[in-house]
Every structure is written in structure tokens, then in C-alpha cells.
Amino acid sequence: MKSLALKGLTALAIVGAAGLYITRPQTVDTDTFAALTPDPAHGAQVFTASGCASCHMAEGSKTPLILSGGQRLASPFGTFVVPNISSDPEAGIGGWTLDQFASAVTKGTSPEGQHYFPAFPYAAYQKMTDQDVVDLWAYMQTLPADQTPSQPHEVGFPFNIRTALGGWKLLFTPKDWVMPADTPQLERGRYLVEAQAHCGECHTPRNTLGGLQHDAWLSGAPDPSGRGKVPDITPATLGWSMGDIAYYLESGFTPDYDSAGGHMAHVVENMAQLSASDREAIAAYLLALPN
Amino acid sequence: MKQIAATAAAFGLVAALATPVLAQDMSANIKARQGQFRILALNLGVLGGMAKGELTYDAAGAQAAADSIVGVSMVHQPTLFVEGTDDMSVEGTRALPVIWENTDDFAAKWAALGEAAKGMQAAAGTSAEAIGAAMGPLGGACKSCHETYRTP
């Protein structure tokens, strides 16, 4: 009897350890990144397309390049307070290495080896090319330092246990593309939508555990604020032409000249800074979505 | 005891009288403000169509559209955005309660729309390209208010 219990416990411990092993925080391969030459000018484009400032600048800030953090993101699991990622070595991430930065953005792993919460959209950024990540880091080091300390999240038990996020990541952050793309334009659109601008984080519904429902990709979701709805942008519902979508992303105007609001206002400000061909590529991607 | 009952009854009466009247008044204000935004959008449709070359440029038509936008921008907003007409208090509106917490900022955003509208008024009669250039600031004025004060 005693030995049976012991066996059971040992088995449990092994399963548990294996579980923790496969769900342990992942980091990037140092050599791959060290071999790349950074291009900070291109990094600025990556930064804009990825909307880093939309979350990391102070609430309502007029200086979006000061990444002092402090915005509060409401979710069903609690409120996340976005951290300072300015170049300040103490309050921000100025003292980090390239590897630490790349592991944070593409693996959701902190320099201390902990999992980040998926409110930081690394589920999208993990699809970025290594070169883009290297360029992004080079650019971000040129941005101003700010000494505002990061604030703790207001997330209660059990969602505040970062170890548990390993399993979550394994289940809900597949690295595969959601959509096929068989032309260079669709590939570019897919890269912008799925790897950088993280359109799916807002426009795709989530399951009860907060994982994106990839089979209902971009088909609309309740607004995380609890009021209103992030619209369905699949082609049959949206009913817009390629020109309509590209113009909206540039100007914020819908085909009937209403103007974008809510969180989409920031997205439009970012998309307006991309090239016209990039906005068309995003439009082409949306028009190719299944209904 | 009797007095309390009487007071309660009086309050009840006031509430009964007040509610329907207020509700009626407020629905008119909500309709009016939503209508004014539609007037903005319809006139922007004319200007945007000309800027994009979907409509043939016509100086008089463009000027009339721009003048209409300036006209709407002169409407005094507090009359339309009366307290108690936010989306938490009543149905049928997308106006967020923060409008009444930041009345100065809301007024500033409306004033910014007025400025951008004047830019369009000066440009509209000259050329389709000039309209195109004035669309940016005007759209920016709409967007920056919708970002904070309108629910999706």
C-alpha cells in the first residue's frame, strides 16, 4: 500500500516535472542574433507597424516616443499596468542585452526567466523575422530615457501565477500562420497583420481562458473595456473595397465618412505612417479572409 | 412616521413627474447631436469624393460642403451633450461618461474641429488637391475625439 502511494507520488512528480519542463520559459538562440547587422532606420518602421508606443506611452501622451508606461489595460483577468520600456537603464530596458530583448518580444520570457502575460502581444511578435527584431532593438535604444518606475499589475489569484502561463502559451500561441498566402502582396499583408500590427488581438474573439479563437479569426469580439464591440472585419460583413480599407487605414474615414475611434484611432495613426503599398497589402489580406 | 410617508410620497411624485419629461427631453438632445455628426459625415463625403477623384471637382459644391461643416462646428455642444445622456445611463448613444468628467478637454476637441473646418473652408474653393490636404487635419480632429469619448 505504502509503495503504491509512493509510486503514485513519484509518477506525479515526474509528470509535473515534465510538464514544467515543456512549459518552461523559452529564450532565443544567441548566435543567430549576434550574426545580424542592425538597421535602426528600418527598426523605426517595425516599431510603428507593431504599435509598441500605442501601449507603452503614458495615457493620452502627446509624446509617443517616451515609453514611460503606465497605461492600464482592463481584461476579464484583472488590470495590467504597461511597464516602462524606455532606454533608461534602471526604470526602463536600457540595460538589457539584445538576447534578453528578443526573448521578451518573441518568446514572452523575461530576463529573470519568467513568463510574460499575453496582454503583451508576443503571440503575434513571435512571428517576426530575426532581422526585424534586431533592427527594432537598435532603434529603441535611440529613444529617450524616462525614469517613471513600472507599476505592479492588478491581477488576482490564480491568474497572477506566471508559471501557469507556460501551459497557456503552449496551448494558445501557435507559431504557424493563421492564413495561407500565395502572392507576395498577401504574404506582406499577412506579415503586417499577423506578426506586427496584431489586428487579431482586438478583432478576434477569445475562449474562456483568454486564448484567441483562430477558427473565428478577425470576426469581431466584445471590447475588452466591457462596452461596445470590436467590429467583424471579414469581407462579407465589412463589405468594403480594397480602396475603402486602404483609405480607412490612412485617414480613419469609413466609406460613409464616419471617423475611427477607440483603440482603432492609434492603429490608424500608425498605419498612416506606412507606405501605400503596405496599406494595400493589409487590405488584400482582409479581402482574402474566409467569411 | 406620517411625515416620513408624506415626504416619501412627495419624492415619489416628483420622481414620477420628472422622469418621463427628462427622458423625452434627452432623447431630443441625443437625436440632435447624432444628426449633426451625420451632417458632418455627409458633407465630408462630398469633399472626400472630390479629393479622391470619385466625384468631379466643382468649386461651388465643395465650398457649400465646407461651409456646412463650419456651420455645424459653431453649434454650442453643451446643449446637446446634457448630463445624464451617457451610454451607462441611457440606451441608444455611444457617448462615454468621461465627456462629463473632462468637459474642458471635450470642448477643446470640439474647438479643434472648428479650426480644421476653417482650414477646409479656405481650401475647398481652390482645387481638389487643396481639399485632399485639408482632409488630414479635419479627419484628425474627428478621430482624436472619437478615440476618447465614443464607445466602439
Whether B48 contacts chain A with CB within 8 A: yes
Search chain A and give the residue with CA nearest B96. Answer: A227
Q: CA B63, CA B123: separation in Å to the nearest integer?
A: 8
pLDDT value of position A19: 72
Give SS3 for A156. Answer: coil
With CB atoms and an 8 Å threshold, state whether B146 touches A251: no
User: In angstroms, what separates the C-alpha of B46 from chain A's closest C-alpha?
Assistant: 10
Name the one residue in this structure whose C-alpha cell is 415619489.
B12
What residues of B are in contact with residue A60 (Cβ under 8 Å)? 148
pLDDT value of position A18: 63
To which H or E segment does residue B51 belong? helix B2-52
Q: What is the mean pLDDT of each run of 10 residues along chain B (152 residues)?
A: 44 43 74 98 98 97 98 97 95 96 98 98 98 97 97 94
Q: CA A268, CA A48: separation in Å to the nearest integer?
A: 11
What residues of A are in contact with residue B136 (Cβ under 8 Å)? 251
Instruction: Tell me which residue in A231, A247, A259 faces B146 most closely, judged by beta carbons.
Output: A259
What residues of B are designated binding site for heme c?
142, 145-146
With CB atoms and an 8 Å threshold, state whether A266 touches B52: no
Q: Which residues of chain A have pLDDT under 50?
A: 1-2, 12
Architecture of domain B2-149: Up-down Bundle (1.20)
Instruction: Tell me which residue in B40, B42, B146 faces A261 most closely, judged by beta carbons.
Output: B146
Q: CA A152, CA A180: separation in Å to the nearest integer?
A: 39
pLDDT value of position A6: 53
With CB atoms and an 8 Å threshold, state whether B41 touches A256: yes
pLDDT value of position A17: 62
CB B64 within 8 A of CB B48: no
Q: Cell digits for A102?
A: 528578443
Whether B52 contacts chain A with CB within 8 A: yes
Whether A266 contacts chain B with CB within 8 A: yes
pTM: 0.92
Tens digit of each residue's pLDDT (9 = 90 or more) over A105-152? 999 999 999 999 999 999 999 999 999 999 999 999 999 999 999 999
Mutate to test the interface with B, among A61, A253, A266 (most CBs of B within 10 A): A253
pLDDT value of position A291: 80
Strand pairing of A221-222 and A229-230?
antiparallel
Q: Could you please report the per-residue DSSP string of A231-287?
A: PP-SHHHH---HHHHHHHHHH-B-TT--B--TTHHHHHHHHTTS-HHHHHHHHHHHH
Give the helix ranges, DSSP H, for chain A: 2-22, 30-34, 40-50, 52-56, 98-107, 122-125, 130-140, 165-172, 184-190, 199-203, 235-238, 242-251, 264-271, 276-287
With CB atoms and an 8 Å threshold, state whether B87 touches A252: no
> In angstroms, what CA-CA distances link B145 with B99, B102, B110, B111, B120?
10, 12, 8, 11, 18
Whether A31 contacts chain B with CB within 8 A: no
CB A179 within 8 A of CB A194: yes
| Class of residue A265 by CB neighbours under 10 A (exposed 0-12, middle 13-18, buried 19+) | buried
pLDDT value of position A225: 76
Whether B148 contacts chain A with CB within 8 A: yes
Instruction: Tell me which residue in B48, B136, B147 faces A262 most closely, judged by beta carbons.
Output: B147
**Hey, what amino acid is at B39?**
I
With CB atoms and an 8 Å threshold, state whether B143 touches A259: yes
Mutate to test the interface with B, among A230, A258, A259 (most CBs of B within 10 A): A259
pLDDT value of position A289: 97
